[in-house]
Structures are given as C-alpha cells and as structure tokens.
Amino acid sequence: MKAKHYMFAATALAATIFVSGNLVMQKLLSGARVDFTQNNLYTLSQGTKDTLRGVAEPVEITFVYTRGVGQEYPAVRAYAARVRELLEAYRSQSHGQVIVREIDPSPFSESEDEALAAGITAVSTTGTDPLYFGIIGRNAIDDQRVIPFLAPEHEVTLEYDLTRMVARLDDPDPPRVGILSSLPGMTAPGGEGGYTLLSDIAKSFEIVPISEEFQSLPEDLDVLFLAHPPELAPRQEWLIDQYVLRHGRAVIMVDPAAKTAVGSSMFDRGNDHPRSDLGVLGKAWGVSLSEGAVADAANALPVPVDTGNGRTEELAHPLFIGAPSADMNRDDLVTADLTRTVNFGAPGAFVTTMLPDGVSFSPLIETGPSPSYMDAAEAVRDMTPGDVLKSYKTAPEPLVLAGRLSGPLVTAFPAGAPALDEPSDPTLADLMRAEAANAPPHISESETDAEIVLIADVDTIADDFYIVPGRGTVVADDGALVLNALDALSGGGELSRLRSRSPSLRPMTRIDKMRESAEAKYFRQQSELESRLETAQARLEELQEIGAADGFFSGDLEADLSDSERAELTKLRADIIELRGRLRGIERDYRREIDRLEGTLKVINIWGGPLFVGLIGLLVWRRQRHRQGRST
C-alpha cells in the first residue's frame, strides 16, 4: 500500500473509531459527570439519590416549557437549562424508574391543552404568546402532582420540590400532621390565606386541624405540631402527654413574648403579654422555657426604627436575632443542611433542669456568646435598640433557642387522667363525654422513645420574618427549619437536606469588589470636584451680576469689574471647563478596570483553549523529535 493511500485509510479509520467511541461513551457514560462548581450545584444530594433508588413504580415527569417565548428572557432561559440538566440526572440515577419528557406548548396545540388541563400557569408576556414553564408528575395509577410555574427566584428549593414530587408519586399517602395553634396564620382552612409555612406544610403533608376545645386527638397522626398553643386544660395536657408517650413525635413552638400575637383579641386572656410555654409537660421532661425574652447583640438584625420627626432608619435591634449557620448543630438532620440564617423575634430560651434517665437534650440553634434576658412584657412591645442596650445584662454563655429532646419519657400525670371540666350546658357536656370516650387508656412510660423538636419562638414562622414582602423571595431558613423537623420526625428525613441548596447563579465577587473600590475612589473624587464646580459657578454668577449692572446697555458685561476681578473671572471660566472635563474623565475611568477584566476574560475564553491545545501539541512534537534524535 502506498504511503498516500495508507494515510487516507488511517485517517478514515481514526475518524470512524472517534465517532463510534463517542456514540458508545455517550450511551455508557450518560450519567457520569465531574462537578467543579461551588457547593456541588450539579451533583444530586444523597437524599435525592436515596429517594430515586427506592422508587418502586415508574414515575413520569413532564417538563413544560415554551422555548420560543423563554428565549426572550435570559433568566428564564438559563433556569430552563438548569431544570433540564437536573431532570436528566434524575432519569439516569433512577435506573429507568423516572421517565422524563419535554413538551413545547405552542398556541392551540395538543401540548398546550395538556399543560392547561394539568394546571400549568400561562404567564402573560410582552409578546402575543404566553409562557408555560412548569412540571407535571404522574405515576402508574394516574395520580398527578404539578409545579404550576418554575420561578427562577425559587431555585434554591428546586431539587427539594422535584424529589418531593417523585417521593409523593411513588407513595401517594402523605404523612399526617396534627396542628394545634392559636395563631390565625396557622389555622387557615387548607393552608389558604394563612402563613406561607402553612401552605408549604400542606404541599408535603396531610394537615389535620385540632380544635382549641379538643377532648381527644385525631388517630393515626405521624407528627403533632403545637405552634403557640392556647391555654390548655389539664385533660388536654394529659392527651398530649399520652400521645408523646405512645408515638413520641412532636414539634413544639412556644414563646414568652409572641410579637405577632399582639393586637389580636384571640390572645387577650388578661395577661400582660401573650405567652405560651411547656407547662406541666416541661416539668416532667426536665425542660422549661425562660420567663424572659432573649436579646443577642452579636446577631442583631437590622430593622426599621422610628427615630422621631417622621424619620425611619434601619438599625441593628438585639431583640431581632438572625442566628447564622455557624450557631447551629451541624450533626442533627434538622439543622445540618441549613445554610442561611434563621430569624427570631424576641425569642425565649430553653433551660434544662433534671432530665429523666436516658433522656438527652441537644441544642439545635444557639445565640452568640453574649446574649441577655429582657423582661418579656417590655420585649413584646416596641422597645428601641437603645432601650434594649440600656437593659442589657450579658449572660455567661450562649442560650438555646431550639433543641431536640430524645429518649424514654415518663408521664406528667402519675395519678392518671384528670377529670373532665364539663360545661353547664347538658348537650355540650354529652358531646364532650362522647369525644373523651375515644381517648386511649392511661400509660405511665414511653412505648416509643420520644423525638421532640422544641423552638422557643413563634414569630419566626410569620412571613415578614423570612420572606420579602410582595416578591415572595425566601431570604432565611425559618420555614425550612420547621419543615425539616416535620420531615425528620415523620420518617421523610432524607428530604430535609434539599431545602437550603445554593442557587446556580453565583455572585461575581471580584467584580463586586472592583465596583466597590471604584465607587470609593471615583465617587469621592467626583464629590470633591462637583463641590469645587458649584463654588466656582456661584462665584462666576456673582461676578457676572456685578459686570452686568453697568455694562448691559453698552454691551460690555465686564465694564464694572476691576482688573483683578476680570482676571478672576477668566480663571473661573477656565477652571469650570477643566473641572467638567475631569468629571467626564472620572465617569470614563469608573468602568475601566471592569472593562479591562471583561476583555481579559474574553481573550482567555476565545484563545485560551486553542493555545493550550497547541502548547500540548508542541510539547508532544518536541518530545518526539528528542526521542528521534536520541535513537539516531
């Protein structure tokens, strides 16, 4: 074979091997990837992998996206790519149990009919066609769950929402959560119109409301959730005591100074301030809630404060605490994966006395190193930051804002069930006795070791404490804390790892620092020059007015000026022209370093790859030449 023919054959064979190898590798390594992003943005969490491995029946996920419309919005287009990549990872990790399809609902098409029938939101745009951007999930028995619109600002919960959808479609029966609360935001029917947290709970759990006059607890509850419960009768406390001894799973939120309760007649029980606590149950468990509210100057949040004269400023307020992730228990499933602050408003603190044998209390969230107790009756009102600091008395160690109680408990009612406090109305008394007859018999010790999450604040779940008003953007992990606790205690703890994932859009920290440096440098110069310019212009106008007094009719505006004033006037005009030029130069220089960095990045992106490959080729060529020289 001639060398020329050999070269063609070898080239064709190499091309065939290259293409075939790519096709084979694409099939065999479709799910393989190396993730170099910060916080492993494109790596599925272990909780998702565990959920996907446990899927028993096929689940179909339909990605609904109007490509043509979405291309006009960069944020939507980038987020759609993120969703598509994540769904492909779900498909590859599920070994065929998660089936992914994508539809593009153009107007008057069958795809649009499918999207609308499923409940996908049609978002109006500046064009003629709406934007469809959501997820439809179905299982083998035609159960359906929908994410009506994938808002880019909610990307931090994207993996959680998808994994929860797969888990609920695989096991359609959600855990049952019994909610007892005196907060209006936690008692809205179906979660509609209440706190955002309540609607979030309704997405993952079956909510079973518990009346304030309950004489028995609902059956088959997976978790009991008490959020600022009303004043309980002894028999009601006994029912909760018996539930904890039998089932052992509860999330309890109490507060010595519930700011969100102020002004509601529901809480007006003749007390100086709205308060809830653990009562006799806490005494039996060895845990009590502090009498005073907690202030923490180290973690004080900025809040609007009326400074008088109709002015409002944002000042750090020690009663409003933003507990950072560094002050959380990184070993407990409830708080291990929280990455943002949890915001509190005049919370209490949990104090342990004598825990029963075998029972442990683990702090989940603590204050900074130098907190202080405040009078709860004053804290619930509008104390200013200055008033708080005047009363500040540093505690010797951090205080516990949230904790977990674990282990076998004993009853708080050793004498058995308290008697019914029957109303005078015979009909109501008969109804109460009938309901109380459903209560299980009294037990004195735990049948199941308790796992109770205790949180010493109820203001934390109000929307204003962690959601930007009007935008719906979550900025703190208040809701995630409670949802994690419910997930962990109801047996779905693997999902709690997914609620606080970082967004894929990362801040350009170097650009931000350069911009801040430029602002500090150029804005200062600009301010100085503008001040000089104003002074010069004011003096110029003064001199021109003097000259215009007598020289107007003669046409000489400088007729009444002395020689020194004429010289000053000429110099002022020259200075003003120079100052204006320097200001224009500052405006140009403001972006110079950023533009230079942008140009450098473009050069690296465009030429970096080819130059790197060429350099490797040159090194290989020189090495071969070196070997040939040694062989000869």
| DSSP-based three-state secondary structure for 344 | strand
CA dihedral 123, 196, 326, 324 (to 10 degrees): 90
Q: 458 pLDDT exceeds 90? A: yes
For the chain, what percent of residues have pLDDT higher than 90?
A: 42
Provide DSSP, 80-144: HHHHHHHHHHHHHHTTTSEEEEEE---TTSHHHHHHHHHT--EE--SSSSPEEEEEEEE-TT--E
The more confident residue out of 536 and 288 is 288
The more confident residue out of 76 and 514 is 76
Residues 139 and 316: their CA atoms lie apart, in Å, by 50
Residue 345's pLDDT is: 94
Q: 513 pLDDT exceeds 80? A: no
Q: 562 pLDDT exceeds 80? A: no
The more confident residue out of 348 and 7 is 348
Residues 608 and 600: their CA atoms lie apart, in Å, by 10
Residues 169 and 144: their CA atoms lie apart, in Å, by 7
Residue 273's pLDDT is: 47
Query: Span 257-276, mean pLDDT?
Result: 61
CA quadruple 257, 258, 259, 261: dihedral positive or negative? negative
Residues 409 and 240: their CA atoms lie apart, in Å, by 13
Q: Are 335 and 359 in contact (CB under 8 A)?
A: no
Instruction: Produce one character per residue of 514-549: b if its CB has 16 or more CB atoms within 10 Å, e if not.
Output: beeebeeebeeebeebeeebeebeeebeebeebbee
Q: Which residues contact 143 (CB under 8 A, 6 or more apart)?
A: 169, 172
The number of residues making up the chain comes to 632
Residue 168's pLDDT is: 82
The more confident residue out of 347 and 608 is 347
Residue 244's pLDDT is: 96
Q: Which residues contact 109 (CB under 8 A, 6 or more apart)?
A: none
Listed residue (298, 304, 289) closest to 349, CA to CA: 289
Residue 178's pLDDT is: 96
Q: Are 318 and 385 in contact (CB under 8 A)?
A: yes
Domain parsing of the chain, residue ranges: 1-30, 42-164, 176-304+315-418+446-490, 509-590, 596-632
Q: How many of the other CB atoms lie within 10 Å of CB of 366?
A: 22
Q: Are 258 and 276 in contact (CB under 8 A)?
A: yes
CA quadruple 48, 53, 54, 55: dihedral positive or negative? positive
The more confident residue out of 290 and 522 is 290
Residues 334 and 332: their CA atoms lie apart, in Å, by 5
Listed residue (82, 92, 86) closest to 29, CA to CA: 92
Under the banding of pLDDT at 50, 70 and 90, the label for residue 30 is: low
Under CATH, which number does the domain 176-304+315-418+446-490 receive? 3.40.50.880
Residues 324 and 476: their CA atoms lie apart, in Å, by 10
Q: Tell me, what DSSP letter sits at residue 511?
A: H
Q: Are 181 and 227 in contact (CB under 8 A)?
A: yes
Residues 371 and 610: their CA atoms lie apart, in Å, by 58
The more confident residue out of 309 and 240 is 240
Query: Span 278-285, mean pLDDT?
Result: 95
Highest average pLDDT, of 168-172, 555-559, 576-580, comes from 168-172
Kind of pairing, strands 144-147 and 131-138? antiparallel
Q: Provide the phi-psi class of 263: left if phi over 0, else alpha when psi is between -120 and 50, else beta.
A: left
Residues 4 and 10: their CA atoms lie apart, in Å, by 10
The more confident residue out of 13 and 202 is 202
Residue 590's pLDDT is: 59
Under the banding of pLDDT at 50, 70 and 90, the label for residue 264 is: very low
Under the banding of pLDDT at 50, 70 and 90, the label for residue 537 is: confident
pLDDT tens digits for 480-512?
A: 999 999 988 986 555 655 655 555 555 556 665
Query: Span 13-40, mean pLDDT?
Result: 69
Residue 270's pLDDT is: 38
Q: 551 pLDDT exceeds 50? A: no
CA atoms within 13 Å, Cβ hemisphere of 121: 10
Q: What CATH architecture applies to the domain 42-164? A: 3-Layer(aba) Sandwich (3.40)
Residues 494 and 480: their CA atoms lie apart, in Å, by 13
Under the banding of pLDDT at 50, 70 and 90, the label for residue 555 is: very low
Q: 631 pLDDT exceeds 80? A: no
Strand partners, 137: 61, 145
CA atoms within 13 Å, Cβ hemisphere of 81: 8
Q: Which residues contact 66 (CB under 8 A, 6 or more apart)?
A: 104, 105, 106, 129, 130, 131, 132, 133
Residues 209 and 186: their CA atoms lie apart, in Å, by 9
Query: Span 192-201, mean pLDDT?
Result: 87
Q: 31 pLDDT exceeds 70? A: no
CA quadruple 22, 23, 29, 35: dihedral positive or negative? positive
Q: How many of the other CB atoms lie within 10 Å of CB of 202?
A: 17
Q: 561 pLDDT exceeds 80? A: no
Q: What is the largest CA-CA distance in the chain?
A: 116
Residues 387 and 362: their CA atoms lie apart, in Å, by 33
pLDDT tens digits for 399-451?
A: 999 999 999 999 999 999 888 777 777 777 777 777 777 778 899 999 999 99
Q: 254 pLDDT exceeds 90? A: yes
Under the banding of pLDDT at 50, 70 and 90, the label for residue 39 is: low
Q: Which residues contact 226 (CB under 8 A, 6 or more apart)?
A: 180, 181, 240, 250, 251, 252, 253, 254
Q: 521 pLDDT exceeds 90? A: no
Residue 624's pLDDT is: 78
Residue 370's pLDDT is: 92
Q: Are 100 and 126 in contact (CB under 8 A)?
A: no
What is the value of pTM for the model shown? 0.62
Residues 132 and 478: their CA atoms lie apart, in Å, by 30
The more confident residue out of 606 and 30 is 606
As a whole number, the mean pLDDT across the chain is 82
Among 47-61, 75-89, 306-320, the range scoring the smallest mean pLDDT is 306-320
Residue in this structure with the two tokens 């473009």, named with its chain if needed: 602
Q: 74 pLDDT exceeds 50? A: yes
pLDDT tens digits for 150-164?
A: 988 777 778 888 988
Residues 498 and 158: their CA atoms lie apart, in Å, by 9
Residues 471 and 468: their CA atoms lie apart, in Å, by 6
Residue 348's pLDDT is: 97
